[in-house]
Amino acid sequence: MLLSDGTRTPAAIARELNVRIENVSYHVRVLCELELIELVRTTPVRGALEHHYRACAGVGLADDFPLHVRRDVNQGVVRDVIGGLIRAFAGEDHARDDAHLARLPIEVDEQGWRELDQRVEELLHRVRQIQEESVARTRRARHARMISGELVLLRYPRHQARA
C-alpha cells in the first residue's frame, strides 16, 4: 500500500512500518517476482546501491496467483480504500460538486459477470489513457494543475449468509 502512494526504498518502508529491513526486503523481492511492484531507479548511498520501488499501475491479481496471496493483497487494498474514503468524506476535499459515489447491487448470470469484467477492463484502460493525456497537457501548459483523486471500482460477489 505504501508503494501505491509513491516511490520508496525497502529501508524507508521498514522505518515507516517499524519492522526489520530483512523482512521488508524479502517481501519486496516477492512482490517484484509477482510483478506487483517495479524497480524505478537506484541511487548510490555510502558505497552501496539503494533501490527505489513503486506499485505497478493498474495491476490486478490474476486468477493463477495463489488464493492466499490474492486474499491478503485484496484485504490490504480494501482497508486502504476504506481509510481513504473516510478521510476524503470527512474533509473538505469532498466539497467538489463533481465528486461521485455510486453503489449498485447487481444480479447477473455467469455471462453477465464476464461481460462486466470486460467492461471494467475497458474502463481501466481508458482511465490510464486519460492520465497519460493529462500529464502531457500539464507539461505543455506549465500553469495547469493536476487534480489528485482516486477511482475505485469494486465488483464482488455478495457474501451469502448460510441458513
Domain extents in the chain: 2-55, 60-101, 102-157
Identify the pLDDT of residue 113: 93
Please give the angle made by the CA atoms of 154, 116 and 108, to the nearest 5 degrees.
95
Place of cell 558505497: 47
Grid cell digits, residue 144: 495547469
Rounded Cα–Cα distance for residues 87 and 83 (Å): 6
Fold of 2-55: Arc Repressor Mutant, subunit A (1.10.10)
Nearest residue to 77 via CA among 52, 104, 59, 99: 59
Residue 101 in grid coordinates:
459515489
Query: What is the enclosing helix (H) or strand (E) of 39?
Result: strand 37-45
pLDDT in tens, 46-104: 888 999 998 876 656 566 677 887 788 778 778 878 887 887 777 765 566 777 778 88
Residue 51: in which H helix or E strand, if any?
A: strand 48-55
Return the percentage of the chain with pLDDT > 70, whole number: 90
**pTM of the prediction?**
0.60
Q: In this predicted structure, what is the pLDDT of residue 90?
A: 79
